[in-house]
Amino acid sequence: MSVPLFQLASDLSVSRLCFGTMTFGEQNTFPETLSLLNEAYRAGINFFDSAEMYPVPQRRDTHGRSEEYLGRWIKDQKIPRNRVILATKVAGPSGQMTWIRGGPNSLDSKNISAAIDSSLLRLSTDYIDLYQIHWPDRYVPMFGVTEYDPTKQYSSVPMEEQLDALQKAIENGKIRYIGLSNETPYGLMKFLHLSRNSSLSPKILTIQNAYNLLCRNFDSGLAECCHHERISLLAYSPMAMGILSGKYFSSGGTPPDARLNIFRGRYSEGESRYKLSDPVVKAAVLEYVRIAKNYGISPASLAIAFVLNHPIIASVVFGATKLWQLQEVIEVIDIHLATDIILEINEVHARFPNPCP
């Protein structure tokens, strides 16, 4: 079994499964990370996604460790650099992560340049294949918030300045392509418009937003933009942080090492979106679990196969802390969801639309 590839650009082909590394250095030790990455690579996964702020929950003591582990794996295992596609992200303004350039307070050219250089060092590489803006430097409702409030807008760094910094990094050979993340239709189209009259236009390839059975907001506006502008979605959180496995609503009790249990009260971005106490979330998950069982596949397999089925999705950014979880994800490549299953999924979605936006 080998994970198939998707051609993002003439010289950039990525596996349909992308290993997200945000647990490396927190939930996973380096030896565990090594085993997971080796197994993924053997299965044909060549695409690995990280971020300067990882692992999560983010804290000073572990900052940058996910990138470090990824870089150490490539170096220790003597993986040819041209055989893997490395994606990482620059943190947007936060003010809370004071250990990252004082906040970071903004996403200006100075911060972008410093972030790229630091990521290159941690990854032990000369270049990054896909460099992404983790979240916008402007007010945007996200992580569970869906309604835009114009009174919350603040003075932000012009997109032109951000694009200029990224263009310089490309010219200097530090990054190859650009991606956005946690973006809106306005943000995507504005970036594309500003890049249109420059050499950057063909360099913006992807948007990395959440997409799963409990969050299909992408289809409302962004899907049309991506379709016409030939931007591919990298779908993160295909399992809705593990909720779609059904483990949090199991009659046998929730596993104590499940992420939302381990980090309860410490991971606001996850808990604000994936509300385990919401009866609508529980009802929707149990319906998807029922569909999976009726068709003889695991709930996790159903969740990931559904995301892979989307025509605009280039790769599914998944996470795994255990080898058996990774193997389950890899085996989804051979699962085809018949029309009857899609119809049942859409019926549940109609009753419980996007409970985890």
DSSP 213-270: TTB-GGGGTHHHHHHHHT-EEEEE-TTTTTGGGTGGG-TT---TTSHHHHTTTT-HHH
For residue 258, the 8-state DSSP code is S
What is the C-alpha separation between 166 and 171, in angstroms, rounded?
9
Q: Which of 169, 8, 193 is nearest to 85 (CA)?
A: 8
Are 192 and 229 a contacting pair, CB within 8 Å? yes
CA–CA–CA angle 266, 269, 271 (5° rounding): 65
Q: State how beta strands 5-9 and 12-15 pair.
A: antiparallel
Active-site residue, from 54, 69, 131, 248: 54
Are 88 and 141 a contacting pair, CB within 8 Å? no
236 counts as catalytic: no
Q: Is the dihedral of CA 95, 356, 274, 320 positive or negative?
A: negative
Query: Active-site residue numbers?
Result: 54
